[in-house]
Structure 1
């Protein structure tokens, strides 16, 4: 029996947007993965969240965004720990839980540039394969092994979407419609 091949897309998803979904979908098809898991960080070491929505709201938004795609799953392993969500610790935990799974960690250009600052990155690269997507405004240059996948480059960030939402501007086509409806209903990101 062959090992399962699973992509992991981690992040704050504050909120999830079409850039996340495109990266996950392109990685799924390009690498022939069995599934891609969206893994929200409980306490990100890289991003300080300003006035974040409740963890449950981020989880709900991801669930709404991926519910129609059967090969997209939600991975909540980082919420089981109370400490900062370091990718190295998470991957070690995932590999213990699923020893027959080969994990691919999907990252955008901003995180590729930031790799030298990742916690225990020299050890992490021995445990997983990094799958990189270029992003406008970032070099994508690193001394660490990253397999690049060609995909449409979209200059979109959650912070851009939050700014739009706080000024009551339109975010149609930038986030899934169900997520937009949820944000409106729950009054998230209002200024």
Structure 2
């Protein structure tokens, strides 16, 4: 039987409990064998914001998932450099894991911006797509904002409450348990020197503190 692999991209600046809980629920719901966290080198939708270094974000992600054998961290986008486009990452995974079934996992906010993505039509050809809700709003099963070429490739399957692509992949919407924490809020608390305990794994909290990440007036390297 083909392995079922989840691919979850993002800045992970830093990775927090919301990311981890979302990935765990998606893994369980979709019966995934592995979930890959893929930190972006340069997110195309956040060109102006200074990120913590790729080295630091990879290190935090590795520490965050260390106790979950179903979680992995991929450095593919960090190592590739430049702007990190999901279609390129999915193509690389598809080539490397040719016998696997891929599931691209993203939040509802990112999904609603997909019409601006590079080669979005091909994204749906390369992998199944799972859209998670972001607390406190449930993900609505709508594709009206997608480019016409993408919309026309789907038909709705009421039996599974999902959209089926003409290539055989699916697009589905998954409600998840709400953990109302954001990386922006974590960074702001760290900048002020406030506690980020219980917002991120203890190993990440320790890394942020020891490396003085996100502190006001200090460069993150």
Answer yes or no: same fold by TM over 0.5.
Answer: yes
| 1:170 counterpart (191, 195, 206) | 195
Give the structure 2 partner of residue 117 of structure 1: 116
- Structure 1 regions of 5+ residues with no counterpart? none
1:183 & 1:147 partners in 2: Cα distance?
35
Q: Is this contact kept in 1: 2:138–2:175, CA < 8 A?
A: no
Deviation per CA, 1:78-106: give whole Å up to 9, x if none: 12323311111111111111100111111
Q: Measure how far apart 1:137 and its partner are.
A: 6.7
Counting only pairs closer than 5 Å after superposition, residues 2-21 of structure 1 correspond to structure 2 as 2-21=1-20
1:37 & 1:103 partners in 2: Cα distance?
11
Q: Against the structure 1 CA distance between its residues 26 and 137, is the aligned structure 2 distance closer, same or farther, given a 3 Å change threshold?
A: closer
Q: Measure how far apart 1:48 and its partner are.
A: 2.9
1:22 & 1:72 partners in 2: Cα distance?
12
2:213 & 2:3 partners in 1: Cα distance?
37
- Structure 2 regions of 5+ residues with no counterpart? 147-162, 164-170, 217-221
Q: Measure how far apart 1:139 and its partner are.
A: 7.2
User: How many residues in Structure 1 have an aligned counterpart in Structure 2?
Assistant: 190
The answer as to 2:28 corresponding to 1:29 is yes
Give the structure 1 partner of residue 185 of structure 2: 160
Q: Choose 1 or 2 for highest CA Rg.
A: 2
With the length of structure 2 as denominator, give the TM-score of the two structures: 0.80
Q: Measure how far apart 1:138 and its partner are.
A: 6.0
2:56 & 2:178 partners in 1: Cα distance?
27
Give the structure 1 partner of residue 53 of structure 2: 54
The DSSP-based 3-state class of the residue aligned with 2:125 is coil
Deviation per CA, 1:146-171: give whole Å up to 9, x if none: 31222212232111111111112222
Deviation per CA, 1:45-87: give whole Å up to 9, x if none: 1223633222111011001100010110011111232331111
Give the structure 1 partner of residue 207 of structure 2: 182
The DSSP-based 3-state class of the residue aligned with 1:126 is helix
Deviation per CA, 1:127-152: give whole Å up to 9, x if none: 11111111147674541553122221
